[in-house]
Chains A and B, each alone.
Chain A
Amino acid sequence: MLAFIVRRLLLVIPSLAGLLVLTFFLIRVVPADPAAALAGENATPAQIAEIRRQYGLDQPLYKQFGVYLTQVARLDFGESAYSRRPVAVDIKQRLPATLELTIAALVFATLAGIPLGTLAAIYHNRWPDTLLRILSVGGVAIAAFWFAIELQLLFAMDLGWLPLRGRLSPGLTAPPVLTGFFLIDSLLAGRLDVFTDALRHLILPAFTLSLGGLATITRFTRAGVLETLQKDFVTYERAQGFPPRALIWKFVLRNSVVAAVTQIGLLFGSLIAGAVVVETIFDWPGIGFYTVQAILTADTKVMLAVTLLIGVIYAIVNILVDVVHGLIDPRLRDDG
């Protein structure tokens, strides 16, 4: 098992190296004047010259790449032109907000998607199945930024049931940072009022973010359940007179969710990307909102750091999915 994990880790090296080359290419070769791009919009010629020296932009490309690798290895991405603080500090502070939102969306998509997919399989090719198919294709077709605005319009502005934006109401102070997740930190601090408020703020953004994942998990669960229903052991149990409903929940589902579990892992990456849009609409203080601010203000250093971060998260999630699979199904370990 250990050898399998190590082998999986080694396989990531080429894609991470490729990611480094791609991001290097993006900031050093695509812009007409990389130093000006890195310095930001309001930089003086002296500042631009300083950046040029600091990043070795007057040297040949291979040397620049060496400088770049050293900076990335030290997590030294410089100072954000937007917040005037080190990029690494900003990201460290904002990452928990995004993770809390993403995990909440993933949990909701799983809890709703598996029963819905099972339902579609039970009513195979009848109207609930067709309806769920149109809904799940629709969930992927909806523009998240528009859906978020419509939800705000209805639940926050018209009905006033849920807060419009942010992570907490203005009157409340954030709980002391232990995990950075407001829901967990507030409970640890024994602040139920903060917990409720944070939860109310989480509902609309997490629901918006979960739509794409919900559709995917529904479809994969449906396919898995349909496949399992054709297996011999199911026919045997049914011939024994086992009630079909109980059979589904007791035996079929357990054998069917493996494909859906893979999808849950892979979805995590796409949810982080979706957070870029959702956080912008709900003023959620995570890395998605930060990314959009950086892109709109042409803050190249932040764009670089965030692209790398998301690429690395993608890679880690892929390894985790493989390792979990190896744990569930030992046959997969050998071909690594």
Chain B
Amino acid sequence: MLVLAKFAKDKPAVLGGLIVLMVVGIAILAPLLAPYPGDVSASHLLMRLKPPSWEHPFGTDNLGRDILSRVILGARGALMIALMVVGISMAIGVPLGLVAGYTHGWVSEAIMRVTDVFLAVPQLILALALAQLMGPSLQSAMLALTLTYWPFFTRIVYAETRRLSASLFIDALQCIGAGTLRILFGHILPNAISPIIVRATIGMGFTILVAAVLGFLGMGATPPDPDWGLAIAESRQYLPEAWWFSTFPGLAIFLTVLGFNLLGDGLRDIVDPRLRRSR
């Protein structure tokens, strides 16, 4: 309850939480909310590049499709990609971090050196190179993003595990003969969960952003997917006349990422008093 009360006082974090809830709601109900759900693949050439109006509040694109509908339908894809990438990255990164943090020896060293190397190259460039080498497609983009994101979880879990395994209650557990797996997953992991959740929240926003760059450069979603990054790439030929074509998908990316970042920022303040802003 204390946590909730603290959270409620943090206005930007509450705003972030509301934005995230709204985007998740839109993604779930997308086919019901979109005024023209058929515009995922349909085209109406007579209606092409119409400015915003009552019928089409965000205007129409180069194939006459309703941009509001495509922005709404695109929320689902963006969230799905981010959930998959962050989820799989956690599934890889967290156990590696636990092992590297709890043991001392060459396994631990090897895991952390590999982590360092991945973190030494900018994520975007590594993801672009990997996606291209695996053949450009949505699957490659997701795999590339996962391969470049797991080290962030390993790094955090490693540091937390090292800190926790020096504490008395772990010594006590070892004395009464608790098994390594029980200590790691029953006692260390629950105590390290807060920074993992914070990282995952910020990672959701970050992944949506990088996935949009991949889509924009033609390395992710393929037409006619209602992908936000792809739509911005397609809009470039029709500027400056069709300003609405690029503006609304970009605002959707911005709002979604902002929501996750504000939420993650607020959560970090609550779970990690060392980093509290109001120090």
Contact = CB atoms under 8 A, between A and B. Distances in A.
A15 B117 contact: yes
B117 A26 contact: no
Contacts, number: 145
Nearest to B256: A141
A98 interface: no
A134 B262 contact: yes
A90 B195 CA distance: 43
Nearest to B121: A311
Interface string A142-154: 1101110110110
Interface stretch (B92-100, B129-137, B168-176, B177-185): B129-137
Contacts of B262: 134, 137
A124 B125 contact: no
Interface in B95-154: 113-114, 116-118, 120-126, 128-130, 132-134
Interface stretch (A51-59, A173-181, A295-303): A295-303
Given A273-B122, A291-B125, A307-B125, A146 B12 contact: no
Contacts of B192: none
Interface residues of B, number: 51
Contacts of B64: none
A296 B130 contact: no
A149 B133 contact: no
Interface in A101-129: 124-125
Size band of the interface chain A makes with B: 35 or more
Interface of A: 14-15, 18-19, 21-22, 26-27, 30-31, 37, 124-125, 130, 133-134, 137-138, 140-143, 145-147, 149-150, 152-153, 157-158, 222-223, 226-227, 230, 269-270, 272-274, 276-277, 280, 291-292, 295-296, 298, 300, 303, 306-307, 310-311, 314-315
Given A37-B133, A124-B278, 18 more contacts: A15-B116, A18-B114, A18-B117, A27-B133, A133-B265, A141-B209, A142-B254, A143-B254, A153-B239, A153-B240, A158-B240, A222-B277, A272-B122, A291-B125, A303-B129, A306-B125, A307-B126, A310-B121
